Structure 1
Amino acid sequence: MGYDLERFVGYVNEGLLCSICRDVLEDPLQAPCEHAFCTACIHGWLVHHSNCPEDRQVIDVSLLRPLYRYMKNDLNRLQLHCRNREYGCEMVCSLESIDRHERECEYSQIPCSNAGCTVQIERRNLDGHLAVCEFRSRECPNGCGYTILSAEDTQHNCVAELRTELELLRSEMICRVEEAKHEMESRLDSQRRHMVQKESILQNEIEELKSQMSRMMSDVRSLMAAERQHRQELEQAELEKRELMELLKGLQKDCRLTTTEGSRKSNFRPLTRLESVKRKPREVTVI
């Protein structure tokens, strides 16, 4: 619904009126055919219709657009009375600022803020009403600290209220203790399951490490045995090397002796050790 035309001061252009409610446009939208409507009015119309209420051209919600800027400016410059005029407000302001004024207007009717009170009162008189409202709350004058309503003054009993408060606190404390207990038990169970799982994993890792250690010890023993065998082979090879060196030295010595005596006796040359070995007659086996 739009703004009541009677609230406006001076002439209002026909183009600034809603084609449905015939009041001044509020939150306006414009159809492709350039007819303008209040947002609430055109949305309500399109629920049951699919055309423009002025010229019956087909329209859809998706085709609606904001009002042209020049029309929007003309609309915002219109002057109108505050809606609280009947309560005594004499403010006249532009349509652009009317909402801000009415939210703060001293003549606006607002509800009492005290729970249970249904009185509607002007904003300017609210403080005076709250001071005498029968539903106002205040702290007990006897010092128990309990907040009471004025209507309950004659029924208020400090001892009974404190006992009730104490029982409520006790019940709340018991509930919190039980919740904390259950939460702690749940955490302990979760931690216990985690520790058991961790222990199982560690035990498996220990067994795996033992197996690896056993294989490593076996490999070490095999390497040590191979090393001993290799050392023995080296020692044997060294021994054979020395024997061969001794034999070679003996052969060289025999060669030198043979060369010296060959120059003295051309027809006689003693056999070297090697030649004697080579020419050693074979034993003949008599059958």
Structure 2
Amino acid sequence: MGYDLERFVGYVNEGLLCCVCRDVLEDPLQAPCEHAFCSSCINSWLVHHHSCPEDRQPLEGALLRPLFRYMRNDLSRLQIRCRNREQGCEMVCSLESVERHERECEYSLVACTNTGCPLQVERRSLQAHLSTCEFRSRECPHGCGYTILSCEDAQHSCVAELRTELELLRSEMICKMEEVRHEMESRLDSQRRHMVQKESLLKSEVEELKGQLSRVMSDVRALLGAERLHRQELEQAELEKRELLELLKSLQREGRAPGTAPAQAPPPATEGLRRPASGAHGLTLDCMKRKSREVTVI
């Protein structure tokens, strides 16, 4: 929408009026056919139409261009009254400076800065309103530290406020303690499961080590038995060896004793093997040789 034509002082050229709203151009744009429009008016028109609202020639948003410079200059020089004229402002200024004036105008309505206050007052009366506003806040004069509104001054109770604050703090502390408790329980459960798994693994390793130890002990006992048997065999062989030595010595002594027959030629080997030798033990020569070979093998 454009500027209300009644706000302007003096004559306004027809070419400076919007072809849609028929008010003075605001943020103007121009079509190739040289018709001018307010930017908000022509954009709203082109949503439902694709032609110039003045001469119905085809028109798209991409074809719109800024207003001619001489037209912008004429528009800027127009004299316009402040929009706060009904509140008492009598300011008349050029169109290009009216926005700056209205931002600073003492008759402009502004919202109260106190939170919760719905009133709008003139800028020149804002400070007076703030001093009496029911929504202005101040610190409690009794020293509880709370900020209270003027409308709540009569209902304010330091004890009640502190009790409420204490209940809130207690509730927050209980919630935090519950959170910490749940977290600690979760951690303990996790550690407990880890310890159970580790204990099971250690038990398996211990059982395996026991099995290995049992096998090693069995092997050791087998080796000790074999060693004991081997020692017994050695002792038996040593005993037989001593007996053979004693027998040989005895035979040698008997062969050299006085009164024995003169020595004769030794009989053949085969004959000596078949004929039993004389002696106190009655052992044949073949048995002696066999015993000697067994001792040598052992």
Same fold flag (TM > 0.5): yes
In 2, Cα distance between equivalents of 1:182 and 1:63? 67
1:173: how far off? Answer: 5.3
Distance change >3 Å, CA 21–CA 165, structure 1 → 2:
same
Distance change >3 Å, CA 140–CA 62, structure 1 → 2:
same
In 2, Cα distance between equivalents of 1:157 and 1:143? 11
Distance change >3 Å, CA 87–CA 182, structure 1 → 2:
farther
1:117: how far off? Answer: 2.1
Match of residue 31 from structure 2: 31
- Report how many aligned residue pairs link the two structures: 190
Distance change >3 Å, CA 175–CA 64, structure 1 → 2:
farther
In 2, Cα distance between equivalents of 1:176 and 1:111? 41
Match of residue 120 from structure 1: 120
Kindly indicate whether residue 95 of structure 2 is the aligned counterpart of residue 56 of structure 1.
Answer: no
Identity %: 77
Partner SS, residue 40 of structure 1 = helix
In 2, Cα distance between equivalents of 1:16 and 1:181? 76
Distance change >3 Å, CA 48–CA 162, structure 1 → 2:
same
Partner SS, residue 127 of structure 1 = helix
Encode CA deviations 1:189-231: one digit per residue, 9 max, x unaligned: 9xxxxxxxxxxxxxxxxxxxxxxxxxxxxxxxxxxxxxxxxxx
In 2, Cα distance between equivalents of 1:175 and 1:99? 55
Structure 1 unpaired stretches of 5+: 190-287
Encode CA deviations 1:128-151: one digit per residue, 9 max, x unaligned: 011111122111111111111111
Partner SS, residue 23 of structure 1 = coil
Match of residue 94 from structure 1: 94
Match of residue 6 from structure 1: 6
Q: Scaled by the length of structure 1, what TM-score is found?
A: 0.60
Structure 2 unpaired stretches of 5+: 191-298
Alignment of 1:185-204 (within 5 A): none
Structure 1: 4+ residue segments shifted above 6 A: 176-187
Match of residue 133 from structure 1: 133
Partner SS, residue 162 of structure 2 = helix
- RMSD after superposition: 2.6
In 2, Cα distance between equivalents of 1:38 and 1:81? 20
Partner SS, residue 162 of structure 1 = helix
Match of residue 267 from structure 2: none
1:116: how far off? Answer: 2.7
1:58: how far off? Answer: 0.8
